[in-house]
Amino acid sequence: MTGDQQHQRASLERRLGHQFVDAGLLTLALTHRSAGSQNNERLEFLGDSVVNHIIAEYIYDKFPDAHEGELSRIRASLVKGDTLAALAAELSLGDHLVLGSGERKSGGRRRSSILADALEAVAGAILLDADLECCRRCVVAWFGARLEELSLDAVAKDAKTRLQEILQGRGRPLPEYELLGVLGDDHNQRFHVACRVARPNFVVEGSGSSRRKAEQAAASVALDRLESHDR
């Protein structure tokens, strides 16, 4: 390894928050399958599990009153491919990827799926090179403000979109919302909304200070019902 390569590797390790004892683990974590049979797929498998565990543990502690459905949705929003790819880009992992010639020519260094897989592989490599506590510190630091700014309200705001996407993905009719009533004075109104889902067939209700918030609340209840039905 040249002096310039050593400098680049040290810079990457500083961004990752971990100096590898076994430098080969980091190289393997950054090696895409297009580069050969010795690649990061096994480390990605391990890293996927450990990142999910670390994020689940973090939000479990952060939201002691949240129910399972809320915790699952928060975790899903954090560990989805787009978020992991964004983190990998922020850490400049793409500059260090080992790719086959085809992937290099087709823009593999910027491909979201490759970046997300590499980030998980690096997490797996840190776990093997050190321990779970070290890996936890690194992963939490990577997510940084994304974890600090988490709120249950932010999850609830997108409940209608998630419900619609789930039903569409299963080829089912879209939910229907009906305003059941409005209570209170003009300056302190409370809206009550019903959300009807066709398959499985059920009706749930939600309330809020506006019709939009009431629909979001009803959609959140519907999501929980769907999760219970699917278990």
Cα–Cα distance measured from residue 135 to residue 23, given in angstroms and rounded to the nearest whole number: 16
Cα–Cα distance measured from residue 32 to residue 197, given in angstroms and rounded to the nearest whole number: 43
Residue 70 annotated as binding? no
Exactly one of 103, 120, 215, 224 is catalytic; name it.
120
Q: For residue 48, indicate whether it is catalytic.
A: yes
Cα–Cα distance measured from residue 110 to residue 134, given in angstroms and rounded to the nearest whole number: 28
Residue 148 annotated as binding? no
Exactly one of 48, 70, 103, 129 is catalytic; name it.
48
Backbone angles phi, psi at 192, to 5 degrees: -120, 125
Residue 44 annotated as binding? yes
- Give the number of other CB atoms < 10 A from CB of residue 101: 10
Cα–Cα distance measured from residue 25 to residue 99, given in angstroms and rounded to the nearest whole number: 16
First and final CA of the chain: distance in angstroms?
52
Q: For residue 186, indicate whether it is catalytic.
A: no
Tokens of 97: 């990827």
Q: SS3 of 158, please?
A: coil
Please report, in range form, the residues annotated as the binding site for Mg(2+).
44, 117, 120
Binding site, by residue number, is: 44, 117, 120
Active site amino acids: 48, 120
